[in-house]
Amino acid sequence: MATFGDDFDQVAFKQAFDTQTDMEAYNRAQAVERAVGRVQNYVADLAIAGVKLADLTLSDDSHEAAAQRAFSTLAEAGVISRALSRRLKRAQQARILIEHTYVDVPAGSVHAAAILVHGTARDFLGRYRAWIEGYL
């Protein structure tokens, strides 16, 4: 993200994401896109593993995937706030959108997802670490 300026400039990112001639810029944009998926996958895996390690009962919303249910469970247990749980669920949805509509996903969606995942991962990891240390 920093390669597109201190503010993660959306215009510069879109130009790089959409270019067909500047492969160096395009590769930097693709690295951001791949990082969004990887970081969100790590956060989801940590949430699921933490729920199991703490022997918490996974939220029973059958309409949600395991990661989203784990975020709800951690909120119910007081590990994270309900607001952070909602943001993490939105980040998970953004990751799914990027990975499953890869060819058609617009630069603006990837840019927004990168900002969301970056912020939610940072907020989640601090709270999660303080909580999970008691189980290790």
| Tokens of residue 14, six digits | 């879109």
Nearest CA to 132 among 52, 65, 57?
A: 52
Residue 105 belongs to a domain = yes
**Does residue 116 sit within a domain?**
yes
- Identify the band that residue 102 occupies on the pLDDT scale cut at 50, 70 and 90: low
DSSP code at position 20: S
In a domain, 19, yes or no: no
Domain count, the chain: 1
Distance CA 18, CA 85 (A): 32
pLDDT tier at 100 (50, 70, 90 boundaries)?
confident
Give the residue carrying structure tokens 């975020």: 71
pLDDT of residue 89: 97
* Domain presence at residue 2: no
Q: Round the average pLDDT of the chain to a whole number and report it.
A: 94
Q: Looking at the domain assignment, is residue 111 inside a domain?
A: yes
Residue 99 belongs to some domain of the structure: yes
pTM over 0.85: yes
